[in-house]
Amino acid sequence: MTDEAKGRGAGGARTSRRGFLRTAAAAGGAIAAGAVAARAEGPDPLITEVQDWASGFGDPVDATPYGLPIRFEDHVVRRNVEWLTESPISSINFTPIHALEGTITPQGCAFERHHSGAIELSKPDYRLMVNGLVERPLVFTYEDLTRFPRHVMTAFCECAANGGMEWGGAQLEGCQFTQGMIHNMEYTGVWLRDILNEAGVRPEGKWVYAEGADASSNGRSMPLEKAMDDVMVAFFANGEALRKEHGYPVRLVVPGWEGNMWVKWLRRIAVYDQAVESREETSKYTDLMADGRARKWTWVMDAKSVITSPSPQAPIRHGKGPLVITGLAWSGHGKIARVDVSLDGGRNWQTARLSGDVKPKALTRFHLDIDWDGSEMLLQSRAIDETGYVQPTKDQLRAIRGLNNVYHNNGIQTWWVRADGEVENVEVA
């Protein structure tokens, strides 16, 4: 039994509605092509009998001053893969993308990546120092920062290691684990360029180094052009204060660039004439090539997509007929232009619908509605961004990058959908 099925059973309904629909459909053969509703043969107690929830009162207002998802959804949580890292203090967990819809990731289940744990830093204790090659070294309190003009921007944050376990072949069962080092939030904050202009960047200043207040400091260098372009010093995510684990009270948002650069608990911005070459941009977050040399400064996250449902944690339970295929696509270079879906492992492709607003450097939701004949499928999706870049196959990536690499695996994911609706992570050669 899946977690989802367990959750539903705990609801206390007097009969299993799903089981009932299945029986009714089998008895009456009631599912016509294109129709999803089953016609009941007999009386449905969920309709004909007065249910508990209609015989008394529900919770009063204020029962939960800050609400959590209803208990039937308590399987929709971030998950860790314990063997991946030595300690959960310097580790990562995964967004349950198989169970989410739309594009915005709730903070409460957005993946976390900490190098030395998530720290508790209050607004009164918060300071941001700006120094290095600037006319006026400055220190800002939290309140000072809130007085710069404020902006709103949606952006995806993807760890460069997303999919890193899949370089050698299909590894983990579920898109939560293979592609879940990603979240997409609507941020409110101030432009880094406004802060830098307040301090005054000296002409020799070419690089901006950002570091966090946690023990790891997670320092990263970026060219001045990026810092002056679309980088945000953010306080709010999805309309509320950043959660502790995402950098409360202030984090850097670096649209389209690898998650490691999105410094949390931001404490210092320094301007230099060259890159710092810190640990996070030398021994980590560089890409070891087949010949033993490492690519560095691979900041941008290339276009990628994944089918979130059906997928190993979201098998098909309803049998053949109408099937909604859905997934996410994104590109660090701008907007998603098109997403193609293949049902046969990449031989034939059809174009999916892009649902909702398509925003640059943000997650885009796609849907494809098919009439599933109940036979096996090798599901794939392929993202194409506005620069014309086409998401590569894993083999195309390996041919160029070899197998030593961990980061920047944006290869096409394949899900093998079996006739019984179960789904497995596979690769097609």
Q: Which residues bind ligand MTE (CB under 6 A)?
A: 110-115, 157, 159, 183, 212, 214, 216, 218, 245-246, 259-260, 262-265
Token duo for residue 10: 């705990």
Bridge-partner residues for 326, per DSSP? 309, 367
As measured in angstroms, the least distance from the Cβ of 113 to Mo ion is 5
Determine, following the binding rule CB under 5 A, whether residue 259 of this chain makes contact with Mo ion.
yes
Tell me the C-alpha distance between 81 and 380, whole Å: 24
All residues at 6 or more sequence positions from 9 whose CB lies less than 8 Å from its CB, including other chains: 1, 16
All residues at 6 or more sequence positions from 305 whose CB lies less than 8 Å from its CB, including other chains: 327, 328, 329, 330, 336, 339, 366, 381, 382, 383, 391
Angle, CA 214 vertex, CA 210 and CA 219 arms, to 5°: 25
Determine, following the binding rule CB under 5 A, whether residue 196 of this chain makes contact with Mo ion.
no
As measured in angstroms, the least distance from the Cβ of 140 to Mo ion is 26
Token duo for residue 310: 């059906």
- Cβ closest to ligand MTE, residue 133 vs residue 185: 185
Contact present, 249 and 241 (Cβ < 8 Å): yes
Token duo for residue 417: 């959908």
Tell me the C-alpha distance between 117 and 62, whole Å: 32
Determine, following the binding rule CB under 5 A, whether residue 246 of this chain makes contact with Mo ion.
no
Q: Using CB distances below 5 to 8 A depending on partner kind, what does residue 157 bind out of ligand MTE, Mo ion, none?
A: ligand MTE
- Cβ closest to ligand MTE, residue 32 vs residue 89: 89
As measured in angstroms, the least distance from the Cβ of 28 to Mo ion is 53
As measured in angstroms, the least distance from the Cβ of 112 to ligand MTE is 4
Tell me the C-alpha distance between 236 and 147, whole Å: 14
Residue corresponding to tokens 């409360």: 248
Q: Which residue is nearest to ligand MTE (CB)?
A: 212
Contact present, 310 and 235 (Cβ < 8 Å): no
- Cβ closest to ligand MTE, residue 21 vs residue 328: 328
- Cβ closest to ligand MTE, residue 110 vs residue 134: 110
Q: Using CB distances below 5 to 8 A depending on partner kind, what does residue 262 bind out of Mo ion, ligand MTE, none?
A: ligand MTE
Q: Using CB distances below 5 to 8 A depending on partner kind, what does residue 115 bind out of Mo ion, ligand MTE, none?
A: ligand MTE
- Cβ closest to Mo ion, residue 211 vs residue 340: 211
Stretch that binds Mo ion, among 14-22, 155-163, 198-206, 330-338 (CB under 5 A): 155-163
Determine, following the binding rule CB under 5 A, whether residue 260 of this chain makes contact with Mo ion.
yes
User: Which segments of 80-233 does DSSP mark as H helices, in order?
Assistant: 142-145, 175-179, 192-199, 224-227
Q: Using CB distances below 5 to 8 A depending on partner kind, what does residue 114 bind out of ligand MTE, Mo ion, none?
A: ligand MTE
Q: Using CB distances below 5 to 8 A depending on partner kind, what does residue 111 bind out of ligand MTE, Mo ion, none?
A: ligand MTE
Tell me the C-alpha distance between 81 and 79, whole Å: 7
- Cβ closest to Mo ion, residue 159 vs residue 383: 159
Q: Using CB distances below 5 to 8 A depending on partner kind, what does residue 163 bind out of Mo ion, ligand MTE, none?
A: none
As a three-state string, the secondary structure of 227-255 is HCCCCEEEEEECCEECCHHHCCCCEEECC
Stretch that binds Mo ion, among 70-78, 107-115, 184-192, 239-247 (CB under 5 A): 107-115
Contacts with Mo ion, residue ranges (CB under 5 A)? 113, 159, 259-260
